[in-house]
Amino acid sequence: MANKNTVYLTQEGLDDLKKELDDLINVRRPENIQAIKEARSLGDLSENAEYDAARNEQAQIEGRIKQLEKMLENVSIITEVATDKVGIGNTVSIKYVDDDEEDEYKIVGSQEADPFESKISNESPIAQALFDHKVGDIVTVDSPNGNYEVEIIEIK
């Protein structure tokens, strides 16, 4: 794996971040600047809630722009992935050894992780345990709630 600053993204995830950055720079920032001007025109800034809210929003917008720009500088696109052993970008079917329940997860970079869509971060305990293992392997997952074993059923 690359250095700690590397941000792993699928092409879709990269496109989403670029779209968000474009929206922040070309839509939200100008709207915010206008809101600040309008609030300023209302007079006394010391007791101007609109001005304070617009300045707070400005700080959030600028912070997110900086965060996105830094992520995009350190992006690594997840392209073709091998299916002989588990790695970032794979979709993995697993069976929990203790209860025979099965799950399927796509391993993505932490920025794209979404448990509701079964996308787990490459930094999660389960992904870390699965890395570099093959179909049929039984691995132990060190989770905050205790250890458990899973069997790798399929790698796509």
Q: What is the pTM of this model?
A: 0.73
Give pLDDT, residue 3: 57
pLDDT of 1 reads 42
Of 52, 77, 102, at which residue does a domain stop?
77
The verdict on 16 and 40 lying in the same domain is yes
- CATH code of 101's domain: 3.10.50.30
Count of domains forming the chain:
2
Domain boundary among 77, 103, 138: 77
> In a structure prediction context, what are the per-residue pLDDT tens digits for the chain, which is 156 residues long?
445 678 889 888 899 999 999 999 999 999 999 999 998 888 777 788 889 999 999 999 999 999 999 999 999 998 777 889 999 999 999 999 989 899 999 999 988 999 899 999 999 999 999 999 999 999 999 988 899 999 999 999
pLDDT for the residue numbered 156: 93
Same domain for 72 and 97? no
Same domain? For 65 and 118 the reply is no
Helices (H), the chain: 11-23, 29-40, 49-73, 125-130
Rounded CA gap, 105 and 83, in Å?
A: 14
Among 81, 84, 96, residue whose Cα is nearest residue 154: 84
Helix, strand, coil in percent for the chain, rounding step 5: 45, 25, 30
Looking at the structure, tell me whether residues 21 and 64 fall in a common domain: yes
Q: What is the CATH number of the domain that holds 34?
A: 1.10.287.180
50 is a domain residue: yes
